[in-house]
Structure 1
Amino acid sequence: MSLQHTLSRALKALPRHSALKSASVCLTPALLRFSQIRSASYSTPAGSKLPVLRQRLSALNTTKSGNSFINKRYMAHAAKTRDPKFKQLTAADVGKFEEFLPKSRMLVSQELGGSADAKDLEGFNTDWIDKYKGKSQVVLFPINAQEVSQILKYCNSEKIAVVPQGGNTDLVGASVPVFDEVIISLQKMNKVRSLDQDSGALVCDAGCVLEVLDNYLADHGLTMPLDLGAKGSCHIGGNVSTNAGGIRYLKYGSLHGSVLGLEA
C-alpha cells in the first residue's frame, strides 16, 4: 500500500465537515515518521481532527502481524544480511589506521583492542531520530583530505566498508552504518581555509557547521546561500552532498549552483 493511498484512506474516514478534507497532503515517509514521533510535543486546537488522523494513520499503517506498510514499501531496498565480500575488521586493520591517524583521533571498541565501549560509540551508530542503528566498532577523525585519501585507499584495497558522517542530522539513516562499517567522521575537519571578499569565494573543510560559516561570513558583510533548521549542527559537506534546500533557496537557487569546486 502506498503512502498516498494510506493518507487518502485516513482522510476519507474523517467527518465531512473536517477542514482537512480540502487540504493537500504531501508527506515523505521521513516527515511522516517525524510528525508521529514529535506529535506529543505540540498542542492542537480544541475540536481539531489531527489526533483522529494520527490514530487512523497508525491503525492503517500497521498489519495484524505488527509490520508497517510504509516500512515495507520504502525500506524494501535495505540489505537484510551483511555482504560477505566485505572484510570483517581485525586488530591488524586498526594498527594500519594508526599509521594514518594518532590514537587520540580514533574511537576503537574494546573488542578490537581499543578503550571505547558501546556507549561511546552509540552516538555515531544511531541516527538523529533514534530509528536506524549500526554496529560500527571504529570511528576515525581525519583532519584533512590527505588523511581521508589514505584511509579510503587502504579500505578499498582490503574491501573494508566505510560510511562518511557529518553532523548526523538526516532523517533517513544515510549517515549511520547498516552493519559494522568504519565510520569516517568529519567533525574535526572544521576549518575555514580562505575567504576572498571581492568575489565572495569561501574555501572551507567539509566538517564546518553551517551556522558557524554563516556567522563567520556575517562578520565580513556576506551571507551563506543556505539556511535551514539544522544549521547549528549540520555540516556543509552533508549540505552539499544532499544539495540541501532551505529558506534561502528561492533567492540563491540550488546549493550545487554555488559550489565552485571540491577537493577529494
Structure 2
Amino acid sequence: MIKSFVKLISKNNVLEQIRYASQALPQLSSEKYNIKRKTFGTIEPSDVGYFRSILGEERVLTDESDVLPYNIDWIKNCRGQSRVVLKPRSTEEVSTILKYCNDKRLAVCPQGGNTGLVGGSVPVFDEIVISFALMNKIDTLDDLSGALVCEAGCILENLDNYVREHGLIMPLDLGAKGTCHIGGNTSTNAGGLRLLRYGNLHGSVLGIEAVKADGTVIDCLRALKKDNTGYHLKHLFIGSEGTLGLVTKVAIHCPVLPKSVNLGFFGVKNFENVLKLYKSAKSKLGEILSAFEMADFDSIDCTVKNLKLPNPISEYPFYVLVETHGSDEAHDSEKLTRFLASEMETGLIVDGTVASEPAKMQTIWNLRESIAGAGLAGGYVFKYDVSIPLKNYYDLVPILRKRLGDKALKVFGYGHVGDGNIHINVTVPQYTKEVSSLLEPYIFEEVSKVNGSISAEHGIGFRKPMYIHYSKDQSALQLMKDLKQLMDPNGILNPYKVLPDAV
C-alpha cells in the first residue's frame, strides 16, 4: 500500500531546536584532550590595533560574548580560547592578515559556517579566528557551461537557490546547507546526500583561489572542465581543511536542474535486504538514481521523538530513502512506483511511500537530514564518519552495542549506502573518558581491518590526527608533512589539525 501525508516541518525550526538543545559550555579542548600549546606568538593590543586599521572597528571582535560562539563547534564537543575574531571582506584583506600573522608567528583558525563534526573549524587555544561570513558575493555564473564563481563565505543553500533561477543546481547537498559555506565545503571535501549521482568535490570544483600562510594569493580559478597544464594544484586545497592555505574563491560546476524529482521512503526488515534493494535500485532505476540513503530504527526513532517529526510509514528495523533526478515526470514517477510495487512483492520492501510534491519530499528529507542533530537532545554524542565496504557496512553498529552495553543510551547508524559512507552515533548521558577509551581507537582499528577509511566526508580536523595512520601509511603521511612544511613553514594555519605531531 502506498501512503501519503501532508505535515511539513520547517527546516529552520528543526535547526533551531538542534542548535539550542543544550546551552552548557563544553570543556576546553586543550584540557579535555590534554593538548599543549605550541610556541606561537601571543596577540597583543598593538596587533588588535593593526587589524582594526585594515578592517575597521566593527569587523574585529574582541568582546568575550561576541567571540564565544566562534570558539565552540555546533555539536558542543570542542571549545577554544580565541580572544579575537577577524571578518575580512576580500581576498586582499585575507592576504594582508595572513602576511602579518606569519611575520608575527600568530596562529589562525579559518572558519566558515562552523558545521563540522571533528573540531576542525574552531580554535584549540588562542588562535585568531578568520571568519569568512562577509565574503559572500557571487562573481559570475555561466548558465551555458554551468560554471559558478563565488567567494568562500557563500552559504550553500543561497547558492543553490541562485543557480536554480538559471536552470541549474549545486552538485552538493547537505543537511547543514542553510548554514555551511562553500569554502568550508571545499576545504573539507564535503560529501553530502547526492554524491552517488554528482560525485565528490574533487570532480565538481573547477578552480580555486587560495591564500598561503605568507599572504601569497594562489590563483587557480579558471572555470574550465579541462585544464591539463601541469600539476593540478587546486586539489591540494580540496580536503586540506585550511592547513595549506585559506580558500577565498571557488569555481564549481553546476549540473542542470532536474525537471523531475521523486522520492521514495521504504521500510525494510534487515540490513541484508537493504543491500539487495540497493543492487536492485541501481539496475531498475539506472541513470535517474540520485540518492540511496539508509537509517536504522534508532536513527529515525530518535528524530521522531526528540524533534517531533512525522514518520510517514510504520516502525521498521531499517529505512531506505531513494531519490531520482530525471527529465520526464511521468516516466520517472512511474519507474519509481513500479520499483516500489515490484520490491514489495519480492519482500525487500515491507512498506513505503512515494512522493513528488515538494512539501512532502521536504518532510521526508527533514526526517533524514535531522538525524545528526536529534541525538544531541538526548545526551552527549560520539559521532563517527567512516567509509566501509558495503558487505561490512553495518557490522560495527551491533558490535559497538555489545561492546558498550548499558554504558550507551543508544548506538545507531545511518548514511549514504551509495558511496559506502556510514555515520555511527553513540549517545551517552555525558562524556566520560571510560566510554571514549572503549570507542577509540577500537572503532578505527575495526575500520582499518576491512580497508575502510576513518573519515568519509567530515575530514580529520582536531579529533582524528592521532588516528590518521589507520588510513594513510607513513610514506603518504611524510609527503603530507613535507607539503605542510613547504606551504606553511611556521605552522600558523589551523594548527593541531589533520597532521599528527610526529610523523
In which range does the TM-score fall when normalised by the shorter chain? 0.5 to 0.7
Counterpart Cα distance in 2 of 1:182 and 1:213: 28
**Matches for 1:96-245 after TM superposition, within 5 Å:** 96-108=50-62, 116=63, 118-245=64-191
Q: CA deviation at 1:98?
A: 1.9
| TM-score with structure 2 setting the length | 0.35
Counterpart Cα distance in 1 of 2:160 and 2:85: 28
Q: CA deviation at 1:192?
A: 0.6
1:200 is aligned with what amino acid?
G
Q: 2:33 matched to 1:87?
A: no
Counterpart Cα distance in 2 of 1:177 and 1:79: 15
**Matches for 1:39-50 after TM superposition, within 5 Å:** none
Aligned partners of 2:109 and 2:121 also within 8 Å: yes
1:189 is aligned with what amino acid?
M
Partner of 1:32: none
The change in CA–CA distance for 1:94 and 1:122 in structure 2 (over 3 A counts) is same
The change in CA–CA distance for 1:246 and 1:177 in structure 2 (over 3 A counts) is same
Q: CA deviation at 1:187?
A: 0.4
Counterpart Cα distance in 2 of 1:226 and 1:193: 19
SS in structure 2 at match of 1:226: coil
Counterpart Cα distance in 2 of 1:98 and 1:79: 34
SS in structure 2 at match of 1:204: strand
SS in structure 2 at match of 1:195: strand
**Matches for 1:61-76 after TM superposition, within 5 Å:** none
Alpha-carbon displacement from aligned partner over 1:209-261 (angstroms, at most 9, x marks no partner) = 00000000111100000001000100000111111111110111111211111
SS in structure 1 at match of 2:159: helix
Partner of 2:204: 258
Alpha-carbon displacement from aligned partner over 1:50-87 (angstroms, at most 9, x marks no partner) = xxxxxxxxxxxxxxxxxxxxxxxxx9xx662211x201
Counterpart Cα distance in 2 of 1:208 and 1:80: 33
SS in structure 1 at match of 2:153: coil
Please list every run of 5 or more consecutive structure 1 residues that lacks an aligned counterpart in the other structure.
Answer: 1-37, 42-74, 109-115
1:102 is aligned with what amino acid?
G
Q: Which moved more, 1:161-170 or 1:91-100?
A: 91-100
| TM-score with structure 1 setting the length | 0.66
Q: Which moved more, 1:254-263 or 1:163-172?
A: 254-263
Please list every run of 5 or more consecutive structure 2 residues that lacks an aligned counterpart in the other structure.
Answer: 1-17, 22-29, 211-503
Partner of 2:223: none
Counterpart Cα distance in 2 of 1:123 and 1:107: 11
Alpha-carbon displacement from aligned partner over 1:105-129 (angstroms, at most 9, x marks no partner) = 1102xxxxxxx1x222111011101
Counterpart Cα distance in 2 of 1:262 and 1:93: 29
Partner of 1:63: none
SS in structure 2 at match of 1:261: strand
1:260 is aligned with what amino acid?
L
Counterpart Cα distance in 1 of 2:68 and 2:50: 24
Alpha-carbon displacement from aligned partner over 1:27-59 (angstroms, at most 9, x marks no partner) = xxxxxxxxxxx9xx9xxxxxxxxxxxxxxxxxx
Counterpart Cα distance in 2 of 1:250 and 1:128: 27
Q: CA deviation at 1:153?
A: 0.5
Counterpart Cα distance in 2 of 1:88 and 1:235: 29
Q: Determine which structure has greater relative contact order: mean sequence separation of CA pairs < 8 Å that are 6+ residues apart, divided by chain length.
A: 2
Counterpart Cα distance in 1 of 2:209 and 2:34: 31
Aligned partners of 2:52 and 2:59 also within 8 Å: no
The structure where strand makes up a greater share of residues is: 2
